[in-house]
Amino acid sequence: MAEEVRGNIEIEDRGAVLVARIDGGPLGLFGNDIAEQLDALVDRADADPEVQAVVFTGTHPGRFVSHAEVRWLQEGGAKVPSVGVRGAAALARTARGVNRAGGLKPVLGKTPLWPAVQLERVHQTFLKMNRSGVIFIAALNGSALGLGAEFAWANDLRVMADGDFVIGQPEVLLGIMPGGGGSQRLPRLVGNHRALLAILSGEPFTPAAALEVGAVDEVVEPAWVLDRALELAAHLGSRPKSSRAAIKRSVYFGGSAGLEEGLHIERSEFLATALSDIGQELMLDYMANTEASGELPLYQPGVFDDVLERGTTRGAGAIR
């Protein structure tokens, strides 16, 4: 039997931005080691007020993340008897409770429940990325399939290298289906019908096709992928972190809820930001500058462009 892949995430600290290089071994795979380190990295970035963005890229030439380590999936599945959808749903619910309890790997590591706990943890890691004020950007230096694509979908932005690369969900070709969120996040990016056809066929998107349908945000020359991702990280990372977190939660979770529930989520997040120290500070500053200049700062010539560059309205339109 071939050795289990031991993955690693190499972190380069650039101050406000962390560059995380995903090393999935010779084949560029996403296995349990990567999952555990990713979870720890997301927690670290979210808790550190100095970290504004994380940019992920792959160390494999021509691949961002190839896909999940198939042995990880197969051997985990082999430990669990065929239970049907209802039984699997019960297993997933139990795994969620176990995952919340934490610290049970020594007890559950050899049991049929452990694979479900691992899958639940991956989902929770991706959800933490969606709730966080940190900007997460996938700098796709090459192809990403299966869980590699699902990881990219979980990021806030995706910059993809132009070339003979692909991104998509081929799970149906292995007799399974997306398990890392692909059936939920891809439809939210490209629309239900387009996502359904892509997942049913297993056919991936080329960089040009992915850009056209909205599966990635930009396609650039391979040599510029990381630089462009870092530019976007600096630009969006200049906005207040608490506001970014509120906006992300409102869009990711409110945007897929019913209208009434979505409005409730937005209303709650808005009130929290309006009552926050940074919100109060910037609104008072804006009003003071309006009174001093006699004009709304965002309507003064050139001020809006300057504000977009700096990330806040602090001092905008002030009389100098």
pLDDT of 163-175, one tens digit each? 999 999 999 999 9
pLDDT of the residue at 280: 95
Give me the pLDDT at residue 46, please.
Answer: 98
Give the DSSP letter of residue 180. S
Taking the C-alpha atoms of residue 246 and residue 263, their distance in angstroms, rounded to an integer, is 13
pLDDT of residue 91: 52
Which regions in the chain score pLDDT beneath 70?
Answer: 1-5, 72-116, 320
Between helix 84-101 and helix 114-131 the angle, nearest 10°, is: 70
Residue 73's alpha-carbon distances to 51, 150, 219, in angstroms, are 33, 15, 31
**What is the predicted pLDDT for the residue at 276?**
94
* pLDDT at residue 38 in the model: 98
What is d(CA 56, CA 111) in angstroms, rounded to the nearest whole number? 33
In which residue are the tokens 């999940």 written?
Answer: 68
pLDDT of residue 107: 46
- Secondary element (H or E) of residue 64: strand 63-65
Q: How far apart are CA 29 and CA 240, in angstroms?
A: 35
User: Could you tell me what percent of the chain has a pLDDT over 70?
Assistant: 84
Give CATH superfamily name and number for 8-237. 2-enoyl-CoA Hydratase; Chain A, domain 1 (3.90.226.10)
Q: How high is the pLDDT of residue 1?
A: 36
- The closest of 140, 258, 253 to 204, measured between CA atoms, is 140
Strand arrangement of the beta sheet that strand 135-140 belongs to: 8-13, 17-23, 53-58, 135-140, 157-161, 218-220
